[in-house]
C-alpha cells in the first residue's frame, strides 16, 4: 500500500467535513507513518508534528480520521497517533495547504524591501495570516479577511470586524495589508487608528494643510482603520471620513474597519456612515476558546523563542482568557528564565500565573477539591454521584465539565484527572475535555456554566 497516496485520499475526505481553516491548521501537520495488517483489520499509525497537534486531533477528530482511512483502505482500521516528523513533504504541497508554523527562509533583499514597505504602511511584520491561529470563534472573520486579501476592492467592501479587546481584530486587518503588499509592494496601503485619523484632521485644519491630509488618505488602495468608533460624535471628523470613504471605494480601493461593537451599536455615529458600514460585510470575533488559546500560546512562545511542553501550554491557556494576557505571561516567563537562569517547570509557570494574573476576577486556585466542590454545588449533585459511575445525562455532563476544568483550569495531567474523578482512564478524560471544548465554542449555556463555576472556585 502506498502510504503517501492513501493519506492524500484520506485527507481529501476529511477536507469535506471540516472548515478550510481547521484543515490547514491541524491536518497539514500529519502523515501516514505506518500501516500494518492485523488479520481482518489494519493498524494505522498517524504521525503528528508535535504533541500539541497529536493531542488536539486525537481528542477531537479521532472518529473522523478512523472512518476516512477505513474508506480509503477498504477494511476496518485501528488508529494510533504518534509524534513523528513527515519524511515526505509532498502531501502538503499537493493539497495546497500550509502548516501553522512555516520554517523561516533566508532573508533576502525582497524581505528587507518588504519590511520597509510595511513600516511605511504602519503595519507590524508579524501581523500576517501565517501566525494567526484559527478556531470556531474567529473562523468567519479569518475567511473573510483571506477573501479580501485575494481580491481587494471587490470581495467585501468595506469589511467591518468587531469584537472585544485582544481578540485579534488588528492582527487580522494588518494581515490583509501584509498579504497585499507581499503580492504588490507598489500598492498604497495605510493602517491607522481612529484617533490618528482624527488628529491628522485637526492638524490639517490648524495648519491649513487639509489638501495634504486628503492626498495622504484619499489616494490609497487599501485603507485600514482600527477602532473606528473613536470618530463617533465628532462632526468634522465624520464629515471628512465620509468623503474619504467614498473617494477610496469609488476608485476601486478597499476599506477595512475594526471596532469594539457593531455599527448599529456605535452611539452618535452618523446614519450615512452607518449605512455604508452595513453595506459591506460585518463579522465578529468572539473571545478565544481553550483550543484557540493553546494555539495562540504556542505561536507567541515560538515568536519569543520559548520552548513549552503541551502541559505548560495548557496550564497557561486554561488560566488566561485573552491573547494580550497570554503575551504578558510569556514576557514575564521569559524574564524569569533569563534573569534567574531558571528552567521551565510547572512550579515556575504557577508562580508567574500567581503574580497578578487573574481569570474572571479570581486568582487561580490549585486545589482540585475546590473544583469538585464548585461543580457539585453549582449543579446541586452529590460528590458521590458526580464521581460515581452513573451515565445519566444530568450527572454525565457535569462530570465532563469537572474533568475539563481540572485539566484546563488547573493544568492537571490526564492520568491524574482520571484518578481524581473516580479512577477513570485517561482516554475518557481526553474525550470529556474535547467534548466540552467543542460545546463551549457553540453552546452559550455551557460557556455561562463554566464561567460561573470558575467564579465559585
CATH number at residue 405: 1.10.1750.10
Whether 331 maps to a domain, the answer reads: yes
- Looking at the structure, do residues 162 and 255 belong to the same domain, yes or no? yes
315 and 255 fall within a common domain? no
Give domain status of residue 63, yes or no: yes
Q: Mean pLDDT lowest for which of 185-194, 224-233, 406-415? A: 406-415
Let me know if residue 431 belongs to a domain.
yes
Q: Report whether pLDDT(87) > 90.
A: no
Report the distance separating Cα 292 and Cα 109, nearest Å: 34
What is the rounded CA–CA span in Å between residue 58 and residue 65?
A: 9
Q: Which run of H or E residues covers position 310?
A: helix 310-319
pLDDT in tens, 300-309: 888 888 888 8
Cα–Cα distance list, 65 to 22, 57, 304, 355 (Å): 14, 9, 33, 42
User: How much is the average pLDDT of 80-107?
Assistant: 56
Length of the chain counted residue by residue? 457
User: Taking 50 as the threshold, does the pLDDT of residue 44 lie above it?
Assistant: yes
Q: Is residue 369 over pLDDT 50?
A: yes
Q: Does residue 43 fall inside a structural domain? A: yes
On the question of pLDDT at 23 being above 50, the answer is: yes
Q: Distance between CA atoms of 137 and 161, rounded to whole angstroms?
A: 13
Residues 6+ apart with CB under 8 A from 237: 197, 198, 201, 231
**Is the pLDDT higher at 273 or at 96?**
273
Residue 76 three-state SS: coil
pTM listed for this prediction: 0.59
Claim to verify: residue 162 and residue 222 sit in the same structural domain: yes
Give the CATH number of the domain where residue 321 resides. Answer: 1.10.8
Q: In what order do the strands lie in the sheet with 222-226?
A: 189-193, 222-226, 254-259, 159-163, 281-285
Q: Which residues constitute the domain of residue 309?
A: 290-353
Using DSSP's 3-state secondary structure scheme, residue 200 falls into helix
Q: What is the Cα–Cα distance from 305 to 331, expressed in whole angstroms?
A: 11
Domain ends where: 265, 285, 305? 285
CATH number at 54 reads 3.30.300.180
Same domain, 30 and 170: no
Q: Nearest to residue 55, comparing CAs of 430, 344, 455?
A: 430
Instruction: Judge if 221 and 257 occupy the same domain.
Output: yes
On whether residue 358 sits in a domain, the answer given is no
Which residue in 420, 418, 438 sits closest to 428, CA to CA? 418
Higher-confidence residue: 73 or 17? 73
**102: in domain:** no
How far apart are the C-alpha atoms of 260 and 424, rounded to whole Å? 43
Q: Does residue 226 sit in the same domain as residue 128?
A: yes
Say yes or no: 8 and 82 in one domain.
yes
Residue with cell 459591506: 280
Q: Find out whether 266 and 259 touch, Cβ atoms under 8 Å.
A: yes
Task: Say which residues have a Cβ less than 8 Å from residue 110's Cβ, sequence separation at least 6.
Answer: none
Q: What is the mean pLDDT of residues 152-170?
A: 89
| Co-location of 141 and 250 in the same domain | yes
**One domain, residues 410 and 340:** no
Domain assignment of residue 100, yes or no: no
The CA radius of gyration of the chain, in Å to the nearest whole number, is 25
Does residue 152 share a domain with residue 224?
A: yes
- Cβ atoms of 180 and 189 within 8 Å: the answer is yes
131 in the same domain as 269: yes
CA atoms within 13 A on the CB side of 322: 16
d(CA 107, CA 130): 17
**pLDDT tens readout for residues 415-437:** 889 999 989 988 888 888 888 87
The CA-based angle 112-116-120, given to 5 degrees, is 165
User: Which of 285, 309, 340 is where one domain is finished?
Assistant: 285
Instruction: Report cis status (omega within 30 of 0) of the bond before 158.
Output: yes
Does residue 260 share a domain with residue 138? yes
Within-domain flag for 175: yes
Residue 161 has pLDDT above 50, yes or no: yes
pLDDT at residue 360 tops 70: no
Domain boundary residue among 306, 328, 353? 353
State the burial class of residue 50 (Cβ atoms within 10 Å of its Cβ: 0-12, 13-18, 19+).
middle
Mean per-residue pLDDT for 202-226?
Answer: 91
Average confidence (pLDDT) over 396-415: 87
Give me the number of domains the chain comprises: 4
The answer on pLDDT for 358 being more than 50 is no
| Burial state string for 1-34 with b = 16 or more CB within 10 A and e = fewer than 16 | eebbebbbbbbeebbeebbebbbbbbbbbbbbbe
- Over residues 103-110, the mean pLDDT reads 49
By C-alpha distance, which of 275, 280, 320, 274 is closest to 296? 320
Q: Are 141 and 258 within 8 A, CB to CB? A: no
Amino acid at each position: 500500500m502506498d502510504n503517501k497516496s492513501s493519506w492524500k485520499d484520506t485527507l481529501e475526505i476529511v477536507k469535506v467535513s471540516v472548515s478550510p481553516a481547521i484543515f490547514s491548521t491541524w491536518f497539514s501537520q500529519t502523515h501516514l507513518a505506518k500501516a500494518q495488517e492485523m488479520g481482518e483489520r489494519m493498524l494505522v499509525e498517524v504521525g503528528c508534528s508535535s504533541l500539541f497537534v497529536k493531542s488536539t486531533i486525537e481528542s477531537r477528530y479521532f472518529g473522523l480520521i478512523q472512518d476516512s482511512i477505513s474508506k480509503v483502505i477498504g477494511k476496518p482500521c485501528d488508529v494510533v497517533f504518534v509524534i513523528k516528523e513527515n519524511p515526505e513533504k509532498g502531501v502538503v504541497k499537493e493539497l495546497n495547504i500550509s502548516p501553522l508554523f512555516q520554517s523561516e527562509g533566508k532573508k533576502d533583499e525582497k524581505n528587507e524591501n518588504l519590511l520597509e514597505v510595511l513600516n511605511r504602511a504602519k503595519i507590524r511584520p508579524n501581523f500576517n495570516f501565517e501566525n494567526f491561529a484559527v478556531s470556531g470563534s474567529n473562523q468567519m472573520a479569518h475567511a473573510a479577511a483571506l477573501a479580501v486579501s485575494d481580491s481587494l476592492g471587490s470581495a467585501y467592501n468595506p469589511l467591518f470586524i468587531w469584537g472585544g479587546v485582544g481578540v485579534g481584530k488588528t492582527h487580522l486587518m494588518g494581515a490583509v495589508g501584509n498579504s497585499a503588499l507581499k503580492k504588490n509592494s507598489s500598492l498604497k496601503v495605510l493602517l491607522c487608528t481612529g484617533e490618528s485619523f482624527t488628529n491628522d484632521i485637526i492638524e490639517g485644519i490648524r495648519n491649513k494643510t487639509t489638501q495634504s491630509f486628503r492626498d495622504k488618505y484619499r489616494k490609497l488602495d487599501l485603507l485600514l482603520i482600527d477602532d473606528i468608533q473613536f470618530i463617533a460624535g465628532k462632526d468634522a471628523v465624520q464629515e471628512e471620513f465620509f468623503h474619504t470613504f467614498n473617494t477610496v471605494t469609488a476608485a476601486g480601493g478597499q476599506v477595512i474597519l475594526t471596532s469594539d461593537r457593531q455599527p448599529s451599536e456605535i452611539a452618535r455615529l452618523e446614519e450615512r456612515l452607518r449605512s455604508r458600514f452595513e453595506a459591506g460585510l460585518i463579522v465578529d470575533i468572539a473571545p478565544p476558546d481553550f483550543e484557540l488559546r493553546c494555539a495562540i500560546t504556542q505561536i507567541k512562545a515560538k515568536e519569543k523563542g520559548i520552548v513549552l511542553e503541551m502541559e505548560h501550554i495548557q496550564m497557561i491557556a486554561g488560566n488566561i482568557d485573552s491573547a494580550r494576557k497570554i503575551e504578558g505571561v510569556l514576557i514575564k516567563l521569559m524574564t524569569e528564565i533569563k534573569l534567574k537562569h531558571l528552567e521551565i517547570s510547572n512550579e515556575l509557570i504557577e508562580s508567574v500565573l500567581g503574580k497578578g494574573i487573574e481569570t474572571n476576577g479570581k486568582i487561580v486556585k490549585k486545589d482540585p477539591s475546590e473544583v469538585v466542590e464548585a461543580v457539585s454545588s453549582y449543579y446541586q449533585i452529590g460528590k458521590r454521584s458526580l464521581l460515581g459511575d452513573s451515565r445519566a445525562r444530568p450527572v454525565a455532563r457535569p462530570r465532563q465539565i469537572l474533568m475539563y476544568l481540572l485539566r484546563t483550569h488547573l493544568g492537571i495531567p490526564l492520568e491524574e484527572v482520571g484518578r481524581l474523578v473516580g479512577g477513570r482512564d485517561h482516554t475518557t478524560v481526553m474525550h470529556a475535555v474535547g467534548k466540552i471544548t467543542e460545546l463551549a465554542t457553540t453552546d452559550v449555556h455551557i460557556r455561562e456554566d463554566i464561567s460561573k463555576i470558575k467564579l465559585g472556585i
